[in-house]
Amino acid sequence: MSATRTDSVHPPSLQASSLDTEKHIKYWLRCLKSPLPHHYISNDSNRMCIAFFIYSALDILNVLDASVTPTERAEHVDWVYRCQLPEGGFRMFPGSGFGKLRNEQNRKWDPPTLPATFFAIQTLAVMKDDFHRLNKRGILEWLPKLQREDGSFGQMLIDGVIEGGHDSRFGYMATGVRWMLRGTVEGSLDGIPDIDMEGFCHCVEESQTYDGGISEAPFHEAHAGFEFCATSALSLLGRLPQSSNTALEVPSKGLTQLDSTVQWLVSRQTATLDEEDEFDTNSDETDTSMTCHDSHSFVKLRSFPSKAGEMSYQDRSTAHFELQWAGFNGRPNKVADTCYAWWVYGTLSILNKQHLVDAEACRRYLLDKAQHMIGGFGKMPGDPPDIYHSFLGLATLALQPESGLKGFDPALCITKEAKQYIESLQWRKAAISGASDSLNSSLSSTSSESTNTTSQSTISSDSPNIEKNFSYLAISGG
Amino acid sequence: MGLYSESPDWADIEPIPQDEGGPNPLAAIHYSEEYSEAMGYLRAVMARNEMSSRALALTEDIIDMNPAHYTIWLYRAEILFAIKADLHQELEWLNETALAHQKNYQIWNHRQTVVDRVGSPAGEAEFIARMFEKDAKNYHVWSYRQWLVRRFDLWEKGELEDVELLLKHDIRNNSAWNHRWFIVFGRDDSAVAGDVIQREMDYAKDAIRLAPQNQSPWNYLKGVTRRAGNPMSSLKDFASEFASIERPNEVRSSYALDLLAEIYSQESDGKLDAAVALDLLAKHYDPIRANYWNYRKALLEQPATAA
Ligand SMILES: [Zn+2]
């Protein structure tokens, strides 16, 4: 069989891989300060998500204060708030707005969506906004309405129908929003009903697969993205098995086959980095480049002895040349892809099992193979960078951790600093600590502070209740 | 100067320009003129809730540029039903759109809406085959296929045979393996007959004999064993065809070694053998996961916990 691309592209040296921080900063500042190229048109309706990636990446790189002036930041904050809708929640992009023509009849085409709301609140946290203008009550009242009978969440409500898939992505975002606005307090909060926790956990449990993974829905194929969403969601609800922050004595629902789940995740690491990789595993097999996707995990004893196993799993290096670079795939027998380094390594980090994979080989894969010379990361070796893979590649490194990058929280997908900022907010503390009986008094104060918005907003166009809704929890800033 | 502004068909419509509302918008995109113009008209017809064939054509134009637009698909479906459009024509258009935008989810949700309304799966198998020619592991297509099977009761309409064809082409297609599981075990809660269990075990074993270093049939085999309520030790002889700790140079499958380690660890005096198997994995046969195999080895030392 032919030599792998790995051999031809990279000289056989062991020089230290490094993160080209300056290039990444340049890449992300370009994304922040100038319009994205036209091929992002196909992502026009994901602009809030892109905004989050850009701001959060610059936060990871620790350059927000140095690179964004207070005025610019205030204008960015205003942009996010202009996507807030009177019904509670955010739209994903200005392109769906009708301006002054928005009314009861047509607003269904310009609805708040769960992803937009999740990314908007995350972005506001990264921006260290004080959340005064956030319609917290409206959002929390809207969340349970997005949950179906089967426990799953949808993307949005249109004409009273919950639209969007039944998979754990929306459940993840719902639990993320819930955590950011009310922590892990369970049950009704100031008259706002909670989501159906048991129903959601049941839904996750049902999506576990015969091979130990987690899928989109019962009987669908296990997939690392859904694995991440389900695990993060349980973590944000305090419902991970043996999770230390579970105050309640509930039976472990959700992830009920943890050992298999961990093995499924660990099995995603692969040195098969390119569709063109060819590597015969066994002469009696009918392998071709089309079928042989995971061959690099299988190494013959005499040809490639490895020192790896002789060392402890905390601190070791792989002696075998090709195995120095190992990324992650999202499903069995698929090729590695930068974003799955995040979905898999992130999930393992939430489960506190990240030491079971070869983090160093993953780091080298990201830095030597996926990192692009203009900054950012591509999907696969040699690919140009895109915002999605660039952010998730950077976030994975920040988890490991990587010097020069801020520490990162896997479940919330923001820096630890941004998470601490959310936890420090006074209105949130009051809501959480008053959860037993001082709740009502602290949450129902409809102060007039909400009128102190720093800029005008499009949201007051068709709702007389907006001022009242707006002031929910607006007790004080951060 | 645009497709719409110059057309007499659209003369009565005042486009709604996009409003960023202030300076320094985030994630602004360098829009093409075509896209900006079409979106202005889309907002205008959506704002009027217009149900017309011109609006239908407009959604096509925009979907081609931005298929991820989340409400345009629902709007399109509403128009289709309101103006009683030809749904077979819709499916033909969807075929080309799906082939052009492989990774888009909304397309499949829309297809489900349309096919549900049509009330027949005719032609769907052929189209799915076309999609699989491009990517036989396309997640959206497999999910859609499960919906089709349930909606039209296609359990015994060639699904198993088709899976076998796909696996003949690529025995490592995990999506096809998963679909096989769905067809065999996903039908209802009733027990699966013993001869079916045997058939599935044999099928997975044959696939493993063809390509021992393939995780998909190993996972399938273990899944069937668990589902049938049989102990993993019932696979010991089979796993031994591909790996033995007595002959460490002749291991043909890391998955066999893993399974043997699991079986040994459950035997009363098998801990040492399990450790040898795990060592072989860590040092020689699956060093990428050395940390994991060493962790499994460390677990052997711990007193048995309720599984
Ligand atoms: Zn990717």
Decide if A216 touches B, using CB distance below 8 A: yes
Beta strands in A261-395 (DSSP E): 269-270, 327-328
Task: Determine which helix (DSSP H) or strand (DSSP E) holds A408, and give its type and residue range.
Answer: strand A408-409
DSSP state of A353: -
Q: Do A313 and B69 touch (CB under 8 A)?
A: no
pLDDT bucket at B80, cuts 50 / 70 / 90: very high
List A84's β-bridge partners, or say none. Answer: A90
Mean pLDDT for chain B? 95
A438/A431 Cα distance (integer angstroms) = 9
- Phi, psi dihedrals of residue A371, rounded to the nearest 5°: -65, 135
Q: Which residue has the higher pLDDT, B44 or A2?
A: B44
ipTM, two decimals, is 0.96
Residues 154-183 of B with CB under 8 A from A: 170-175, 178, 181-182
Q: Which residues in B lie closer than 8 A to residue A285 (C-beta atoms)?
A: 210-213
Give yes or no for A292 touching B (CB within 8 A): yes
Residue A295 confidence class, pLDDT cut points 50, 70, 90: very low
How far, in Å, from the CA of A343 to the mean position of ligand 1? 10
Residue with tokens 């699904």: B159
Could you tell me which of A170, A175, A177 has the C-alpha nearest to residue A154?
A: A170
Nearest Cα of chain B lies from the Cα of A438 at a distance, in angstroms, of: 39
Q: Which of A290-294, B8-12, B171-175 has the lowest mean pLDDT?
A: A290-294
Rg (chain B; Cα; Å): 27
CB A406 within 8 A of CB A383: no
Nearest to A427 by CA among A451, A453, A409, A445: A445
Residue A345 reports pLDDT greater than 90:
yes
pLDDT of residue A442: 33
Bridge partners, A113 (sequence order): A90
Nearest Cα neighbor of B101 from B63, B132, B71, B69 is B63
Judge contact between A58 and A68, C-beta under 8 A. yes
pLDDT computed for residue B188 by the predictor: 78
Give B302 or B73, the one with higher predicted confidence. B73
Which token pair is B128? 């799915």
B30/A156 touch (CB, cutoff 8 Å), yes or no: no
Which residues of B are part of the catalytic machinery?
Answer: 103
Interface of B with A in 73-132 (CB under 8 A): 74-75, 105, 109
Asked if residue A138 has pLDDT above 50, the reply is yes
Rounded-to-integer distance, Cα B161 and Cα B173, Å: 15
Task: Give mean pLDDT, residues A429-454.
Answer: 46
What pLDDT score does B1 carry?
A: 60
Three-class secondary structure of residue A415 per DSSP: strand
From ligand 1's centre to the CA of A281, what distance in Å? Answer: 26
Alpha-carbon span B158 to B163, nearest angstrom: 9
- Is residue B134 within a helix (H) or strand (E), and if so which, with residue range? helix B124-134
| pLDDT (average), residues B165-190 | 93
Residue A172 pLDDT more than 90? yes
Relative orientation angle of helices A426-433 and A416-424, to the nearest 10 degrees? 70
Q: Classify residue A281 as left (phi > 0), alpha (psi -120 to 50) or beta.
A: alpha
Q: Which of A452-456, B8-12, B47-51, B128-132 is least confident? A: A452-456
Q: Is A275 at the interface with chain B, CB within 8 A?
A: no
Tokens of A253: 């629902």
DSSP 8-state code for residue A369: I
Interchain pair A294, B215: CB under 8 A: yes
For A80, which residue in chain B has the nearest alpha carbon? B26
User: Which pLDDT value is given to residue A81?
Assistant: 98
Place of tokens 């110059």: B6
B5 has a pLDDT exceeding 90: yes
Show me where the domains of chain B are located: 232-302
φ and ψ at residue A265, rounded to 5 degrees: -65, -45
Cis peptide, bond prior to residue A401, ω within 30 of zero: yes
Cβ atoms within 10 Å, residue B208: 25
pLDDT at residue B71, rounded to an integer? 97
A282 backbone φψ class: left, alpha, beta (φ>0; ψ -120 to 50)? beta
Amino acid A420: pLDDT: 98
Q: What's the N-to-C CA distance of chain B in angstroms?
A: 71
Q: Are B137 and B174 spatial neighbours (Cβ–Cβ below 8 Å)?
A: yes
Between strands A408-409 and A327-328, the pairing is unpaired
pLDDT for position A457: 37
Residue numbers in B near A102 (CB within 8 A): 47
Give the pLDDT band (50/70/90) at residue A166: confident
Residue located via tokens 């940390």 = B291
The whole-number pLDDT of residue B42 equals 98
Q: What is the pLDDT of residue A435?
A: 52
Q: Which residue of A54, A219, A454 is the best one to mutate when testing the B interface, meaning the one whose CB has the most B CBs within 10 A?
A: A219
Output the pLDDT for position A57.
98
Measure A449 CA to ligand 1 centroid, in angstroms.
Answer: 44
Q: Show residues of chain B in contact with A64, CB under 8 Å.
A: none
* Residue A237: per-residue pLDDT: 95
Closest Cβ–Cβ partner in B48, B279, B287 for A323: B287
Exposure class string for B89-103: b at 16+ Cβ within 10 A, else e: ebbeebbebbeebee
Which pair of structure tokens corresponds to residue A46? 């994901």
Model confidence at A245: pLDDT above 60: no
**Residue A282: predicted pLDDT:** 34
* Structure tokens that stand for B19 in this block: 């409003």
The residues near B44 (Cβ < 8 Å, ≥ 6 apart) are B13, B14, B15, B16
Q: Reply yes or no on whether the pLDDT at A331 is more than 50.
A: yes
Inspect the interface and report whether the beta carbons of A305 and B283 lie closer than 8 Å.
Answer: yes
Sign for the CA dihedral angle at B48, B49, B52, B58 comes to: positive
Please tell me the distance in Å from A265's CA to the nearest CA on chain B. Answer: 11
The one-letter code for the residue type at B154 is L
A207 CB-near residues (< 8 Å, 6+ apart): A167, A168, A214, A215, A216, A217, A218, A220, A226, A230
**Cα B184 from chain centre:** 17
Residue A284 banded pLDDT, cuts 50, 70, 90: very low
Q: How far apart (Å, rounded) are the C-alpha atoms in residues A201 and A145?
A: 17
More confident residue, A117 or A475: A117
Q: Is the pLDDT of residue B263 over 70?
A: yes
Residue A467 pLDDT exceeds 80? no
The residue count for chain B: 307
Q: Does residue A315 have a pLDDT over 70?
A: no
What mean pLDDT do residues A149-157 have?
A: 96
Distance CA A248, CA A299 (A): 46
Q: Do A79 and B20 touch (CB under 8 A)?
A: yes
On whether any CB of chain A is under 8 Å from the CB of B244, the answer is: no
Q: What is the mean pLDDT of residues B92-113?
A: 93
The whole-number pLDDT of residue A16 equals 76
Task: Provide mean pLDDT across the span A83-102.
Answer: 96
Nearest beta carbon to residue B174 from set A36, A97, A332? A332
pLDDT of residue A465: 31
CB contacts, 8 Å: A76 with chain B: 24, 26
Which phi-psi region, left, alpha or beta, contains residue A308 (left: φ > 0; alpha: ψ -120 to 50)? alpha
Largest CA distance in chain B: 86
CA distance A420 to A426: 12
Percent of the residues in chain A that have a pLDDT greater than 70, as a whole number: 76
CA of A336 to the centre of ligand 1 (A): 9
Q: Distance between CA atoms of B7 and B246, rounded to whole angstroms?
A: 80
Contact A110 B71 (CB under 8 A): yes
* B254 alpha carbon, distance to own chain's centre: 26
Residue A79 corresponds to which tokens in the numbers above?
């942009």
- Per the DSSP assignment, residues forming a β-bridge with A157 are A162
> Who among A123, A299, A332 is closest to B287 (CB)?
A299
A98–chain B Cβ distance below 8 A for any pair: yes
Give residue B148's pLDDT: 98
| Residue B21 to residue A82, Cβ atoms within 8 A | yes
In this complex, is the C-beta atom of A42 within 8 Å of any C-beta atom belonging to chain B? yes
- How far does CA A19 lie from the centroid of its chain? 22
Confidence of residue A325 (pLDDT cuts 50, 70, 90): very high
Q: How confident is the model at residue A357 (pLDDT cuts 50, 70, 90)?
A: very high
CB contact under 8 Å between A361 and B288, yes or no, is yes
Which whole-number Å values give the CA distances from B1 to A139, B6, B12, B18, B29, in the listed order? Answer: 42, 6, 16, 18, 21
Using an 8 Å CB-CB cutoff, list chain A residues near B297. Answer: none
pLDDT at A409 over 90: yes
Measured in Å, residue A389 CA sits from the centre of ligand 1 at 6
Q: How many CB atoms lie within 10 A of CB A115?
A: 21
Q: B254 in contact with A at a CB cutoff of 8 Å?
A: yes
